[in-house]
Amino acid sequence: MSDRPATAAPWFPDAAAIFLAALILRGIGLGAESFWGDVMFTWAWTQLGQDFIWGEGRLRENNPPLYFSLAAAWRGVAGGDEWGLRSLSAVASALAAIVCYATGRVLLRRRT
């Protein structure tokens, strides 16, 4: 048994730094562009509610309903403006950066 105090996993500070850096880089200019194409479509579908998204909407749209369902819930947290709707993708991409980092650590078995 070690005398060292229990701490977070040794990779946690690296992962937190990667998450914050990715979030900052992804967030730069996030709401600068006005609504267009897919963002406007997401805005419209999040207005229709979960019943529509998982019911009739699932039959109409080729994309799986999970993203629109998450976006509708996220809209309640971050708002329905350009920044609010796009921030879900920004957070998801920052989390993906951590997954890539962790995968590299596992596959390469060294500091990545």
Q: What pLDDT digit, counting tens, does each position of 99-109 carry?
A: 988 888 888 87
Which of helix, strand or coil describes residue 11?
coil
With a cut of 70, say whether residue 81 has pLDDT above it: yes
CA distances for 111 relative to 4, 12, 16, 90, 105, angstroms: 22, 12, 15, 25, 6
Q: CB burial class (10 A; 0-12, 13-18, 19+) of residue 36? A: exposed
With a cut of 60, say whether residue 3 has pLDDT above it: no
Q: Name the band, by pLDDT with cuts 50, 70 and 90, for residue 86.
A: confident
Q: How many CB atoms lie within 10 A of CB 7?
A: 8
Across 51-67, b (16+ Cβ under 10 Å) vs e yields ebbeeebeeeeeeebeb
With a cut of 60, say whether residue 7 has pLDDT above it: no
With a cut of 90, say whether residue 54 has pLDDT above it: yes
With a cut of 80, say whether residue 79 has pLDDT above it: yes
The pLDDT mean for the chain works out to 81
Which pLDDT value is given to residue 36?
72
